[in-house]
Amino acid sequence: MDDRVAFLCADPGIPPDGHKGASVHLRAMATALHRVGVALDVVVARAGSLAGFRPHRAQFVAPERARGLAGELRQIAHAEAMLAALQDCGPHRAVYERLSLFGLAGLLHARALGVPFVVEANAPLWREAARFRHLGLQHAARGVCRDVMQGADKVLAVSHALADELVREGVRADRVEVLGNGADLARFADAPKLTRPASLQGRPTMVFLGSLKPWHGIGFLLDAFAALRRRWPTCGLWIVGDGPERERVRRAVADADGAIVHTESVPHERVPSVLQAADVAVAPYTADAPSY
Residue 36 — very low, low, confident or very high, per pLDDT cuts 50/70/90? very high
pLDDT band of 136, cuts 50, 70, 90: confident
Average pLDDT of the residues in 140-159? 94
Residue 136 is classified by DSSP as S
Tell me: pLDDT of 224 over 90: yes
Question: CA-to-CA distance for 221 and 217, rounded, in angstroms?
Answer: 6
Residue 133: is its pLDDT beyond 90? no
Q: How far apart are CA 181 and CA 18, in angstroms?
A: 18
Give the mean model confidence (pLDDT) for residues 204-229: 92
Residue 89 CA: distances (Å) to CA of 7, 37, 76, 110 = 11, 19, 21, 13
Expressed in angstroms, the distance from the first to the final Cα of the chain is 38
Among 13-27, 56-70, 164-178, 182-196, the range of highest mean pLDDT: 164-178
- The pLDDT-based confidence of 286 (bands split at 50, 70, 90) is confident
Whether the predicted pLDDT of 199 surpasses 70? yes
Q: Per residue in 39-51, pLDDT tens?
A: 999 999 999 999 9
Range with the poorest average pLDDT among 65-69, 190-194, 224-228:
65-69
Give the confidence band of 1 by pLDDT, cuts at 50, 70, 90.
Answer: very low
Query: 79-121, pLDDT tens digit by residue?
Result: 999 999 999 998 999 999 999 999 999 999 999 999 999 999 9
Q: Taking 50 as the threshold, does the pLDDT of residue 267 lie above it?
A: yes
Measured between alpha carbons, how far is 81 from 136 in angstroms, rounded to an integer?
A: 22
Q: Whole-angstrom Cα distance, residue 157 to residue 164?
A: 9
Are 7 and 30 spatial neighbours (Cβ–Cβ below 8 Å)? yes
What pTM does this model have?
Answer: 0.85
Q: At CA 164, angle to CA 289 and CA 42, rounded to 5?
A: 85
